Amino acid sequence: MIRLALRLTLAGGREAIGRLAIITVAVALGVGMLLAALAGINGVNAKNSRYAWLNSSLVTTSATGTADPTLWRISADYFDGRLIGRVDVAGTGPTSPVPPGMTRLPGPGEYYASPALAELLRTRPANQLADRYPGHLSGTVPAESLPAPNSLIIVVGYPADQLRDQPDVQPVRQLETVSPSNCNQCVVGLRSDAIDLTLGVVALAVLFPVLIFIGTASRLAAARREQRFAAMRLVGAVPRQVSTIATVDAMLSAVAGVALGFALFAVFRPLLARIPFTGEPFFPADLSLNVVGIVLVALGIPLGAAVAARLALRRVQITPLGVSRRVTPRPPRAYRLIPLLAGLAELANVRMTGPPPGSTRQLIVYLLGMTLVMVGLVVAGPWLTMVGARLLARRTRRPATLIAGRRLADNPKAGFRAVSGLVVALFVTSVAVGIITSIVDHRGNHGDEVSHPNAISTVFLQGNEAPDAAPKAGTDPVPPGLSDVPGVTAVVVVRQNPAWTPPGPVPQPEPAQVPHPEPVGLVSCAALAAHPEFGRCEPGAQVAGVDSVDLTYFTDRVAFTERALPSGTWPASSVPLAQLEQLPTVSIVVDTDGSTGAIEAARTKLELAYPGQRRNLPMGDVDKAADITSALVGWRQLANVAILTSLPIAGCGLAVSIVGGLSERRRPFSLLRLTGVPLATLRRVVLLESLVPLLTVAVLASVAGFVAAHLFLEAQMRYAVRPPGVGYYVLVLGGLVASVGIIWSTLPLLDRVSGPEVARNG
Amino acid sequence: MSGLIEAREIALSFGETPALRGASARIEAGEIVAVTGPSGSGKSTLLHCLAGILAPDSGEVWFGDTRVDTLREAARSALRRDRFGFVFQFGQLVPELTAEENVALPLLLGGTRREAALRHARVLFDRLDLGGLERRRSGELSGGQAQRVALARGLVGEPAVIFADEPTGALDSLAGEQVMDLLVEAARERGTTVVLVTHEPRVAAFAGREIILRDGKVTSPVPDRVPS
């Protein structure tokens, strides 16, 4: 029987082979995306494990391990907006731990750099980068030690005696191997749970149109296959045999699709690895599949297809005389809106009560909500289509609109099925654009904070800690030559306010509740007058109090005064100017012309003047923005993948659905033509049959997308969704125009399949 | 004493529309019977009930000692496959299969090995003047050829009864006559019973007896006659 089924599946001529090919491609796309999602999650976890060793000095070290610890200090650094991980090391004996993949530690006067950093060291002027590191480049940080192929990591060797007494140096007896995901004290690494969550949502969003495409393709030539099954039943095939044939038919394309899907994954894996959805690309090998995933996909998809084929057969009764539906389809009812409303209610509930603790539970609640909304759109679609079609049929006087309206009202499910993929894709697009636009808007603009994009500052005070390793009081803290660096436009020193009280460990009242907290810093009004980009003093003042150590100020609040001041004006301080230079330094703020050369040369000067101070990292808005930008670039690319994948797949689904529909209805169309209905009218009928459900449900899908995005953002990040830019409207409008184009491109087929000979021959 | 096939007071409605209202008929082994009557009189429905394709709402259908209408679906399928043959107006060939595979299909479904089933089918190709068409698909056959292939398929299992529903309805008169000649000849040769639904007197004339239906009831059986 299986052999006969294979024969029937493969020997059906061009139409059968075409159908088989379309289903195979649809399944392959689905499998490829599923594998990409699984590999993406594995890749994130693998990448996070690569970060583990960088946390070796940050976790509480146990007494176990080697007797010859490596003296170890990790710090962050920046170059041109890119983060550099710097590890200063000194071995204390022959068994001192070495980073993964290295055979030995760099000796005093040597450093090893990652390939990407080595390239920068080679190509950029030494005063911008290489001068920061003592000694010379003598080796490469191997791939085993790199989280990403383009990671900037440097391991700098020191004599043990020199490093031992410096701040933040820890003896490391064994390397940390626990992934930052499972390590509470780890600082360096990814929030892999959040990325897994995002990947899960994106995978679902992309898979949904694929599943609809598979469903549409599977229904191709359904009438012909049912006719074949009926003929077989007539000559004695029992239902089980028909079921076997249908199952083999479904499994054959599923197996071929799975094989092609694995091949697609293998081919596109290097490209997938380049998508920096964690902020950095991946090593292709990290995007791996585990055995469980492979077995689940390789066996699960064909088995799922077999089960789906059997379920589809249970919905119809194939008799020797043809196919009769078990249940006469009733018109859809308004209760079809319930899943959609339930999905939105679920997301609203998460918004009201807050997301549950733990990424897994968050993943479940968001996936549940988004899935319900997507399923809800597909379930509600036929009802909305019917309402729209009835309205259209009632109001129109044009025959094409009347025919299309009546046909849609009679069978809204079939009408909506053709556009259901596009509707889901539109929802996906709206969610993705809504979330990404809002995150970019919120994070890209620091609220009401005025930023100095060209400035960097070395801060000798952070958080609740007292000034640490600051320049000595009474000395000029500005490194020699800093002001002379080409491109440096201003150097301003912020001194510590003697009246300022460091916050203690006991939680302090919020600034708003303290009417007159003393500002942390003081700055000379003469300096501010020379560099008004950092603000200005009140008239007549000599010293101003500043509450932000990098001279970033806020226009809508002045934390330490109740007096209303013009925007950008620091309040006067009672500390005399003469005393200012005797006070400890809080920060050195350097403004530049914005060129990479100026910023990096100034940073190098500051780092050399105050070396080894992890807390003193000279950085500015350009660096903070770069961190955010790299993450946003990753998210944006992920959203682009979701949009650019789901829309074309939905378009394919639409085309396949229309072609299939035309083929199945060749006889009625042919009879209509014989009775004198012009071809142009039939074309309008076909066009309207797709456009009415599309336009009716598209508005709802778009609104549902933005509501879902808003609820997600509010619940997870306390952001409100921002209105989309012009690009979104262009995308949606372009999508609709493309849909019309797809429908239009299928219309020549109408001419071919509705000729008079079709009416005669059936 | 029952005939080979017998319908006893069978009634069947499609929704609100009654198709048969207590129709009774008895067909003996080896008979060639034409079921005639005006459109909508229930001819095809009676044939479908006799063949076990449809189960009547009431009444009984017997094939020999087997009550057909109460059989389960699988048993009725097996009965159709093993004891009955079918020739319908159109739509009964599987388009994906070649002509010889279509003829062999009942045997394949019954578990006969492919080679044996095809060998058996090819014998009928010569017998029904279909030589050279073995490898053609149904779309490559003329209406008369397709109907002869269907007839070959109906005969391949050496059935006890052939049910033919308007077997010449889609053919011109010459091709129709050729098909009927072959059907009757093959049936007489093998002693096969033929139940033939038609509205054409010329086709009905091939039968030895007519059963006339009107409004879902058998009105009057025409006395036996010798086919022309």
Q: Which of B46, B68, B77 to mutate to test binding with chain A, by most A CBs within 10 Å of its CB? A: B77
Q: What residues of A are in contact with residue B74 (Cβ under 8 Å)?
A: 238-240
Q: Quickly state the pLDDT bin for A558 (edges 50, 70, 90).
A: very low
Q: Is the pLDDT of residue B141 over 50?
A: yes
Q: Does the pLDDT of residue A442 top 80, yes or no? A: no
Alpha helices, H only, A546-615: 577-580, 596-609
Would the pLDDT of A698 be above 90? Answer: no
The pLDDT assigned to A588 comes to: 87
Give the pLDDT score at A61: 59
From chain A, which residues contact B within 8 Å (Cβ)?
Answer: 1, 3-4, 7-9, 11-13, 16, 224, 227-228, 230-241, 319-321, 762
C-alpha distances (whole Å) from A309 to each of A2, A234, A403, A586 are: 15, 21, 32, 72
Pick the range with the lowest mean pLDDT from A131-135, A424-428, A462-466.
A462-466
Per the CB < 8 Å rule, is A232 touching B94? Answer: yes
B55 has a pLDDT exceeding 70: yes
Range B168-172 average pLDDT: 77
Q: What's the pLDDT band for A251 if we cut at 50, 70, 90?
A: confident
In A, which residues are within 8 Å of B54 by CB distance? 321
> Span A157-185, mean pLDDT?
83
- B53–A320 C-beta distance less than 8 A: yes
A230 chain-B contacts, CB cut-off 8 A: 91
From the candidates B12, B45, B87, B97, which should be mutated to test the interface with A, based on the most A CB atoms within 10 A?
A: B97
Q: Output the DSSP codes for A72-101.
A: EEEEEEEETTEEEEEEEEEE-STT----TT
User: Is residue B228's pLDDT more than 50?
Assistant: no
Q: What is the pLDDT of residue A739?
A: 82
**HSE, side-chain direction, 13 A CA sphere, residue A230:** 20
Contact (CB, 8 A) for A585 and A616: no
Does A237 sit within 8 Å of B109, measured CB to CB? yes
Q: Rounded to whole angstroms, how far apart are CA atoms A427 and A424? A: 5
What are the phi and psi torsion angles at B130 (to 5°)? -115, 15
> How close is the nearest chain A Cα to the Cα of B80, in Å?
5
**pLDDT band for position A736 (cuts 50, 70, 90):** confident
Say which range, A679-683, B2-6, B11-15, B85-89, has the weakest mean pLDDT: B2-6
Place of tokens 């293998």: A266
End-to-end CA distance of chain B: 30
Within 8 A by CB and 6+ apart from A557, the residues are: none
Query: In the predicted model, what is the mean pLDDT of residues A304-308?
Result: 82
A-to-B residue pairs, Cβ atoms closer than 8 angstroms: 77
Q: Between these two residues, A219 and A103, which has the higher pLDDT value?
A: A103
Specify whether the CB–CB gap between A143 and A282 falls below 8 A: no
Residue A1: list chain B partners with CB under 8 A.
Answer: 109
Confidence of residue A556 (pLDDT cuts 50, 70, 90): very low
DSSP A55: G
Which residues, in sequence order, are CB contacts of A523 under 8 Å at separation 6+? A492, A493, A494, A495, A534, A543, A544, A546, A551, A570
Distance CA A146, CA A102 (A): 12
In the predicted structure, residue A573 carries a pLDDT above the cut 50: yes
Residue A755 exposed, middle or buried by CB count within 10 Å (0-12, 13-18, 19+): middle
Structure confidence at residue A465 (pLDDT): 47
Burial state string for A556-581 with b = 16 or more CB within 10 A and e = fewer than 16: eebebbeeeeeeebbbbbebeeeebe
Residues of B whose CB is below 8 A from A762: 90
Q: Do B106 and A231 touch (CB under 8 A)?
A: no
Q: Across all residues in chain B, what is the average pLDDT?
A: 85
**Residues, chain A, total?**
762
**pLDDT-based confidence at B34, cuts 50/70/90?**
very high
Tokens coding A242: 């028909």
- Comparing A1 with B156, the larger pLDDT belongs to B156
CB contact under 8 A, B95 and A228: yes
Q: Alpha-carbon distance A554 to A109, whole Å?
A: 45
State the nearest Cα–Cα gap between A306 and chain B, in angstroms: 21
| Phi, psi of B141, rounded to the nearest 5 degrees | -105, 150
pLDDT of residue A433: 83
The answer to whether the Cβ–Cβ distance between B90 and A762 falls below 8 Å is: yes
Q: Which of B80, B96, B137 sits opposite A236 (nearest CB)?
A: B80
**Which pLDDT score is estimated for A537?**
86
pLDDT at residue A462 greater than cutoff 60: no
Per-residue pLDDT band at A12 (split at 50, 70, 90): low
pLDDT(A461) > 70: no
What is the DSSP-derived secondary structure letter of residue A513? G
Output the six-digit token pair for A474. Answer: 């009474």
The beta-carbon neighbor of B86 closest among A234, A240, A241 is A234
Which pLDDT band holds residue A208 (cuts at 50, 70, 90)? Answer: confident
Q: Which phi and psi angles does A735 have, rounded to 5°?
A: -60, -40
Which residues on chain B place their C-beta less than 8 Å from a C-beta of chain A?
48, 53-54, 73-74, 77-82, 84, 86, 88, 90-97, 101, 105-106, 108-110, 114, 137, 139, 153
The pLDDT of residue A446: 47
From B20, B5, B60, B45, select the one nearest B217 (Cα to Cα). B20
Q: Which residues contact A262 (CB under 8 A, 6 or more apart)?
A: A31, A32, A35, A297, A298
Give chain B positions within 8 Å (CB) of A236. 77-82, 84, 106, 109-110
In angstroms, what is the C-alpha Rg of chain A?
33
For A158-172, A199-213, B30-44, which range has the lowest pLDDT when averaged over its residues? A199-213
| Mean predicted confidence (pLDDT) in A435-445 | 72
pTM above 0.90, yes or no: no
User: What pLDDT shows up at residue B227?
Assistant: 44
Q: Whole-angstrom Cα distance, residue A608 to residue A350?
A: 50
8 Å CB contact of A11 and B81? no
> Which chain B residue lies closest to A320 (C-alpha atoms)?
B53
> What is the 3-state secondary structure of A401-448?
HHHHHHHHHHCHHHHHHHHHHHHHHHHHHHHHHHHHHHHHHHHHCCCC
pLDDT tier at A505, thresholds 50, 70, 90:
low
Tell me the nearest-neighbour CA distance from A260 into chain B, angstroms.
25
Query: Is residue B177 predicted with pLDDT exceeding 80?
Result: yes
Q: Which residues does chain B have within 8 Å of residue A240's beta carbon, measured at their own beta carbons? A: 74
State residue A762's pLDDT score: 47
Which residues have a Cβ under 8 Å from the Cβ of A364 and sit 6 or more positions away? none
Query: What confidence tens digit (pLDDT) does each residue in B76-86 have?
Result: 888 888 889 88
A291-300, A373-382, A711-720: which range is least confident on average? A711-720
Q: What does the pLDDT average to over A288-299?
A: 90
Residues A470-490: what's their mean pLDDT? Answer: 83
Least confident of A545-549, B18-22, B150-154: A545-549
- List the Cα angle A729/A733/A738 in 5-degree steps: 145
Answer left, alpha or beta for residue A266, where phi above 0 means left and psi between -120 and 50 means alpha. Answer: alpha
Residues B90 and B171 sit within 8 Å (Cβ to Cβ):
no
Q: Where are the alpha helices (DSSP H) in A411-550?
A: 412-444, 525-530
Residues forming beta bridges with residue A457, ordered by sequence position: A589, A619
Q: State how far the Cα of B18 lies from the Cα of B20, in Å rounded to an integer.
A: 6
pLDDT for A632: 64
All residues of chain B having their beta carbon less than 8 Å from the beta carbon of residue A327 are none
The pLDDT of residue A445:
55
Classified as helix, coil or strand, A233 is: helix
Tell if the CB–CB gap between B96 and A7 is shorter than 8 Å: yes
Listed residue (A2, A6, A14) closest to A220, CA to CA: A14
Average pLDDT over residues A309-322: 70
- Greater model confidence, A613 or A534: A534
* CA–CA min distance A242, chain B (Å): 10
For the segment A599-615, the average pLDDT, to the nearest whole number, is: 79
Smallest Cβ distance to A236: which of B92, B95, B109?
A: B109
Contact A521, A545 (CB under 8 A): yes
Phi, psi of A516 (to 5 degrees): -135, 60
Confidence of residue B4 (pLDDT cuts 50, 70, 90): confident
pLDDT in the model for residue A315 = 62
A16 closest CB neighbour out of B74, B91, B96: B96
Among partner residues B73, B92, B96, which is closest to A234 by beta-carbon distance? B92
| pLDDT of amino acid A555 | 41
Average pLDDT of chain A?
A: 80
User: Which residue has 């990753």 as its token pair?
Assistant: A634
pLDDT at A105 over 90: yes
- Could you write out the DSSP letters of every residue in A109-137? TEEEE-HHHHHHHHHS-GGGTGGGSSSEE
By percentage, how much of chain A surpasses pLDDT 90? 19
- Mutate which of B94, B100, B118 to test chain A, going by most A C-beta atoms within 10 A? B94
Weakest mean pLDDT among A303-317, A370-384, A560-574: A560-574
Instruction: State the pLDDT at residue A621.
Output: 63
Report which of residues A542 and A761 the model is more confident about: A542
Mutate to test the interface with B, among A20, A226, A234, A248 (most CBs of B within 10 A): A234
The top-scoring range by mean pLDDT among A504-513, B90-99, B140-149 is B140-149
First to last CA, chain A: 29
Task: Flag whether pLDDT at A340 surpasses 90.
Answer: yes
Q: State residue A36's pLDDT score.
A: 87
- pLDDT of res. A633: 66
How far apart are the C-alpha atoms of A699 and A377, rounded to whole Å? 11
Question: Crossing angle of helices A726-753/A679-717, nearest 10°?
Answer: 150
Place of tokens 């005025």: A450
Q: Is the pLDDT of residue A86 over 50?
A: yes
Whole-angstrom Cα distance, residue B199 to residue B69? 26
Q: How would DSSP label each residue in B51-105? A: TTSS--SEEEEEETTEESTTS-HHHHHHHHHHHEEEE-SSS-S-TTSBHHHHHHH
Per-residue confidence (pLDDT) for residue A123, from 0 to 100: 94
Q: How far is B170 from chain A (nearest CA, A)?
A: 10
Q: Please state the rounded mean pLDDT for residues A667-696.
A: 82
Q: What is the pLDDT of residues A583-603, one digit of tens each?
A: 888 888 888 888 889 989 998
CA atoms of A501 and B130, how far apart (whole Å): 108
